[in-house]
Amino acid sequence: MSTGTRTGTRTTTGGTRGTGGKGGGRAGGILSGLAVALGSVLFLGGFVWGAILYQPYTVPTGSMTPTVDAGDRILAQRIDGSEVRRGDIVVFNDPLWGDVPMVKRVVAVGGDKVACCDKQGRLTVNGKPIDEPYLLDPKAPASPTGFSATVPKDNLFMMGDNRATSEDSRVRLTDSDDGSVPRSAVNARADAIAWPSGRMGMLQRPAAFAGLSGDGPSAPGPLKAVVAAVVGGAVLIFCGAAYGPLARVAGRRRTAR
């Protein structure tokens, strides 16, 4: 009787362990499935969201060096021209500027008077000097040649950050719009450099124009949230998919013991 009792106890104990292991396995399988499903939603949703909001462009010239170089691949948020603010780097198409998308910085908007240079060699907008640390040579005059222009309503005055070589609104001052570009010509606003890998990163909104009257600098687009959704989704998919193989390996090790 004593032996039978011990045997029954061992059998019962073993059954309890087995049932607990299977229950844990089922719960783990459900959680791993949910992780893969949620990860897929985030991953695919992030890609779709990004494709709707953003478009990649290749910078055609070195006129925006050092901010962006010729050949850099940038991600630009699709926007309406009415959303453009001073200091923004925009992508635009204007037949007078050529047949390819151009990338320049907006330094003045409709109604502004833009001129260069003051006694310290700075650009002025409505008489206010603008410090431009993003220029290729911040210590040099903001423009090798002096100029003055009043920007027509609903237009934008464009300049490159490489002022010595940039062919921008300054060289088109004899045009009917004083070299400016219609807001309607703007396709997108640059948010980040996507390639080459050594230059990847968000493009900063300059604080230099914040003190001017009117609309302040534009807010960054949702690119960080888009990237977070894609990366987070990929991590969830990987972790969920890895659970099954890892659980089987762990089960074999327990059986071997």
Active site residue 63: yes
113 is catalytic: no
Give the residue carrying structure tokens 């980040």: 192
Q: Is 174 helix (H, G, I), strand (E, B) or coil?
A: coil
Q: What are residue 189's DSSP bridge partners?
A: 77, 90
Q: Which residue out of 32, 40, 63, 224 is catalytically annotated?
A: 63
Closest listed residue to residue 69, CA positions, set 195, 186, 204? 195
Residues near 86 by Cβ (< 8 Å), separated by ≥ 6? 106, 107, 108, 109, 112, 125, 209, 212, 217
φ/ψ region of 248 (left if φ > 0, alpha if ψ in -120 to 50, else beta) reads alpha
24: left (phi over 0), alpha (psi -120 to 50) or beta: alpha
Interatomic CA distance for residues 230 and 238, integer angstroms: 12
Given the residues 32, 104, 166, 180, the one annotated as active site: 104
**Catalytic site positions:** 63, 104
